[in-house]
Structure 1
Amino acid sequence: MKVSVPATSANLGPGFDSLGIAITMKNQVIIRPSKFHSVSLKGEGANNPVLKDNNMFISIFNDFYHNLSHKKRHFRFEFFNEIPLSRGLGSSSAVIVSAIASAYAIEGIKLDKNKLLNLALAYENHPDNITPAVMGGFNVATVQDNEVRYINKSIPKALKAVIVVPNRPISTQLSRKTLPFKYSKDDVIFNISHSSLLTAAFMSEDWKMLRTASLDKVHQKYRMKQMPELFDVQKSALRSGALMSTLSGSGSTLFSICFADDAKRIEKALRNRFSHFKVFTSDFDNTGVKIDL
């Protein structure tokens, strides 16, 4: 059995903890019956022995599998990770979603995506990453009565993402501590209006509105101060023709959206200027979690 989950970019500027989008970069896990438990890991994190010994996927998978099957079986888990760790591209959400989906699939129990999403909420209480990980596409999400309420929109092939991944992370926990304890009414109104406009731009496919709509006064500038060169990355992406450029999640990745025809030029400009960072272009994923038996 193979389960794949896409990388995600959350917040998208003003949509703090509520907006998210999926790209085609994926984490995959292949699970096989085995005489004894074993784990192999390739790709991102392969050189980190802690990920094998203290694997969040295995812990969540075992919790669900034992509750569903009441059996004790051994499996071989083969992980193929494309999503960088601690870079704001939803690696934790991918682990959570794939672990739950795998436990149900291996027992032959059909799991509705809405139920999967709400089961994942117990491990990740912000819906901006887990929703696109499950559903794919662009998502507006909130939590009410312990359930994720969301609206999903597929992204056309006319758009691509150009992504800049710095060579060091920004801690999500430390990043949240940099945020103000209180905000002014003007800043709150600014973000409500821009988040609303950004949502409307995606839903109506008014792509030229993205640059204005993606402005933020709540979290980006505080987080980006931990890595000041990100301000230059953002300005360079917009100057090169990106439709919008925002901090991905809590960082340290910078996520830009552009027209497909402009992607190579923008990628080249960013790679030339920031050669010490990883720069690449990605399509958008409109499928979300995928299970192949």
Structure 2
Amino acid sequence: MEKIIVRVPATSGNVGNGYSSIGLALHMYYTVIVEEETEKWRVNHAFGDSVPHDDKNLVVQTILKVNPKIMPHQLTVMSDVPLEKGLGSSTTAIAAGIKIANKLENMNLSVNDQINIGSRMEGHPDNIASAILGDITISHYEDGKTDVVKAHMPDEMQALVFIRNEKITQKKGMERFPKEIKFAQEVQTSSASNVFVAALMQKDWDKAAHMVEADSLIRTGQGNDFKDFKVIQQTAHELGIYGTYISGVGSSIITLGDYDHLTTLQSKIENNDQLDGKCRLIDLDRDGATIRGED
């Protein structure tokens, strides 16, 4: 059979105040090569023993959830998306599984069908929408259906990703969020998100960047424990850079900007002994998940 190669970008969810709504695709990739049929599912990867090599692997579980009749195959996974670091590592596996199932069985799932499947599996649409579509996406998920708009970040935009050495699982991160929020805070959060999207559509990045940093549910949930964010944000402000936010539930901090500003910020972060982590300056992904066949 011809090999099928799927490539899915890393993603950042909860961009600014767009909690479980706004996602951003990043130029780091999870790649799956679908090889020959086998008696049992076999997944080759270098993640270690904590990630299954058989049908318990998330990409295989996704394939079978989309279509349980698909025969076992050998899969080879290569990835530079770090695990459990707020960069959509689980989303990449889910998106890849959806794409593979659609290809192997010629299911003709539309892009919206694929996003709906992924949103139902994850319970929120921000990461899966941007993983499949690329660039920045704004989504609404309700009753198993997702409405998505893909927007365009400025051409010169890059992301400086600070990946904390501390690992924060989804469960641990969610435990930091308040069980209830005040109505006034919800109004403030949603209005900031609205202005961010409107400014982005009008290509007013200066205003959009400030809205990224408006008080949000994410930082309220992290509380005073999240000192790395405050240090990076303050350092960025000293350089005149706005657009720093917490990606996902907190293992990564992202600052958006152009190359010249972000390289200066990167140098300062890497020389700051208060911060325990590493920086990566990366482009944004504009195209989303891709799939192709090779003879």
TM-score strictly above 0.5: yes
Alpha-carbon distance between aligned partners in 2 of 1:81 and 1:5, rounded to the nearest angstrom: 9
Number of residue pairs matched by the alignment:
286
Conserved 8 A contact 2:13-2:248: yes
Hey, what does 2:27 align to over in structure 1? 24
State the alpha-carbon separation in 2 of the partners of residues 9 and 187 from structure 1.
23
3-state SS in 1 of match to 2:263: helix
In the alignment, what sits opposite 1:234? 233
Q: Please name the residue that 2:44 is paired with.
A: 40
Gaps of 5+ in 2: none
- For 1:175-190, list aligned pairs within 5 A: 175-190=173-188
Alignment of 1:1-293 (within 5 A): 1-36=4-39, 37-42=41-46, 46-53=47-54, 54-67=56-69, 69=70, 73-214=71-212, 215-223=214-222, 225-273=224-272, 276-293=276-293
The DSSP-based 3-state class of the residue aligned with 1:29 is strand
The DSSP-based 3-state class of the residue aligned with 1:52 is coil
Tell me, yes or no, if the aligned pair for 2:9 and 2:29 is still in contact at 8 Å.
Answer: yes
> Which whole-Å CA distance do the structure 2 matches of 1:79 and 1:136 have between them?
20
The letter for the 1-side match of 2:285 is D
Provide the rounded CA distance (Å) in 1 between the counterparts of 2:135 and 2:113.
18
Deviations 1:218-257 (A, max 9, x none): 2214225444333212322333343300000111100110
With 225-234 and 129-138 compared, the bigger mean Cα shift is at: 225-234
Query: Could you say what the CA RMSD is over the residues aligned between the two structures, in angstroms?
Result: 2.0
2:8 & 2:236 partners in 1: Cα distance?
27
Secondary structure of the equivalent of 2:85? Answer: coil
Does the 8 A contact of 2:129 with 2:137 survive in 1?
Answer: yes
Equivalents in 2 of 1:64, 1:151: separation in Å? 24
Structure 1's unaligned 5+ residue stretches are: none
Tell me the TM-score normalized by structure 2.
0.89
What is the identity, as a one-letter code, of the residue corresponding to 1:52?
H
Q: CA deviation at 1:34?
A: 4.2
Opposite residue 41 of structure 1, the aligned amino acid is H
In terms of mean alpha carbon deviation, does 26-35 or 230-239 score higher? 230-239
Calculate the TM-score normalised by the size of structure 1: 0.90
Q: Distance in 2 between matches of 1:226 and 1:27?
A: 31
CA separation of 1:187 and 1:41: change in aligned 2, threshold 3 A: same
2:206 and 2:125 mapped to 1: Cα distance? Answer: 26
Aligned 8 A contact 2:118 2:125 in 1: no
Percent sequence identity is 24
Q: CA 1:22/1:224 → structure 2, altered by over 3 Å: closer, same or farther? A: farther
* CA shift for structure 1 position 177: 2.1
